[in-house]
Amino acid sequence: MTTGTDITAAALAGLAPPPETEDPARPAEQPTTGAPARPAAPAEAPAPAPVEEAVARTEPVTAKTPVRSPGRGRGLLAAVGRGLSAAVLRSAAILALLALWETAPRLGLVDATFLPPVSEVATAWWELLGDGQLAEHTGASLVRSFGGFGIAVVIAVPLGLLIGWYQPVAVLLGPLLEVFRNTAALALLPVFVLLLGIGETSKVSIVVYACVWPILLNTISAVGNADPTLVKLARSMDLSTPRLFQKVILPSSVPAIFTGIRLAGAVSILVLVAAEMIGAKAGLGYLINASQFNFAIPQMYAGIVTISAIGLAFNQLLVTIERRLSLWRVPA
C-alpha cells in the first residue's frame, strides 16, 4: 500500500535534473561544507634524471685528456727500443769500417801517407767545402750526370716498351742491341772524345750510352714477363692498346723498370767520374785526379767519399719514387 510520503518522493525524483557527467578537463569542485578537501593529486611527473646526466647537461663539453695506461707506455718504449736496435744493426758495418780506417794508419798497419785516417779525410772535406771547391766540382758533376741520366730514361723506357710489346720490332733490333750492349761504355770513351770533343757533349753522351742499357733491357724483360692471364682478361674487355698499357702493362712493369733505373743511376756517376778524369776542368772526377797528381791524398779521398754519398742519396730517392708508384702492390 503506497503512502503519501512515497508519492511525494517519487514526484520530486522526477522533477530533479539529471546528474552531470564528470569532465576530465574540468577540475573537481570543492565541497562547500564539511572538512576541507585535499587537493587533487597532480599527474605523475617523470623521474628526475640522475645527477651525472644533470651535470652533463649543464657543463660544457670539453676534450678529455686521454689517460695512458702503463701498458701503452711500455709498448711505446719497446717500439722505440726496437727501432734503435735496428738502426744500430744497420749501421754496425759502416761504423766498424770507419773505426778500422781510423785505427789502421795510426797503428802502423798501413802507410798513413797513402791511406790517411778518416779524421784527416773529414778535415780535408770540410776545408774543400769551406773554400767552395767541393760545391763547384759537385755541381758540375751533378749537372752532367743527371742530364745524361734523364735523357737515357726518356729514350730507353718507351723504346723498351715498344720492343717488348711488338715482336717484329724485337726481331729487327735484337741483333743490333746484342752487339752494343756487350761493348763497355768506357771502351768507347775515346771514340766519343774524338767525335764530340772534350767538352760537355762528350761527357753527357757517354753517360747516356752507359745508362740506356740497364733501363732498356729491364724494360723489355718486364713487358715480356707481364701476366698473360691479365692481358687476356683485358683484351676480353675490349680495352684499347693505350688503355691496356695504362692499366696492365705499365703497373706490372714498374718494379723491373725501376730496377734498371736504379742500376743506371749508379752507372751514371761512375762513368762520369771516369770521363772527367780524361778531359775536364771541373767535376769530382777532375778533383780526384788533380789531388792524386798533386799528392793531396786526403782531398782525393774526400772526393771519393762525396761520390759515394751522392750515389747513396740518389739510390734512396729512386727507391722512394718506386714505392710511390707501386702502392697497388700487396706487401708480402
The pLDDT tens digits for 221-233 are: 888 787 778 778 8
Residue-level pLDDT at 329: 59
- What's the confidence (pLDDT) of residue 58? 46
The mean per-residue pLDDT over the stretch 278-287 comes to 83
**pLDDT band at 29, cuts 50/70/90?**
very low
Residue 92's pLDDT is what? 84
State yes or no: pLDDT of 14 exceeds 50: no
CB-based contact 201:177 (threshold 8 Å):
no
State what percent of residues in the chain have pLDDT above 70. Answer: 76
Contact (Cβ atoms closer than 8 angstroms) between residue 245 and residue 294: no
Distance CA 98, CA 118 (A): 7
Rounded to whole angstroms, the Cα distance separating 155 from 212 reads 7
Higher pLDDT, 123 or 1: 123
- Section 60-75 average pLDDT: 55
Strand, coil or helix: 239? coil
Mean of pLDDT values over 4-21: 46
**How much is the pLDDT for 22?**
47
Give the separation between CA 194 and CA 196, rounded to whole angstroms.
Answer: 6
Lowest mean pLDDT among 10-24, 147-161, 261-275, 305-319: 10-24
Residue 42 pLDDT grade (very low, low, confident, very high; cuts 50, 70, 90): very low
Full 3-state SS string of 18-79:
CCCCCCCCCCCCCCCCCCCCCCCCCCCCCCCCCHHHHHHHHCCCCCCCCCCCHHHHHHHHHH
Calculate the alpha carbon distances from 29 to 19, 59, 73, 182, 232 in Å.
14, 45, 73, 118, 94
The pLDDT value given to residue 278: 77
Please give the pLDDT value at position 229: 80
What per-residue confidence (pLDDT) applies to 72? 62
**pLDDT of 67:** 52
Per-residue pLDDT at 155 exceeds 90: yes
| Band of pLDDT at residue 51, cut at 50, 70 and 90 | very low
Query: Does 182 score more than 70 pLDDT?
Result: yes
SS3 264: helix
Grid coordinates belonging to 73: 707506455
Predicted confidence at residue 23, as pLDDT, reads 47
Q: Mean pLDDT in the chain?
A: 77
pLDDT value at 34 more than 90: no
Among candidates 116, 142, 139, which has minimal Cα distance to 291?
116
Q: What is the mean pLDDT of residues 171-195?
A: 84
Which pLDDT does position 240 carry in this prediction?
Answer: 77
Q: Which residue has the higher pLDDT, 302 or 77?
A: 302
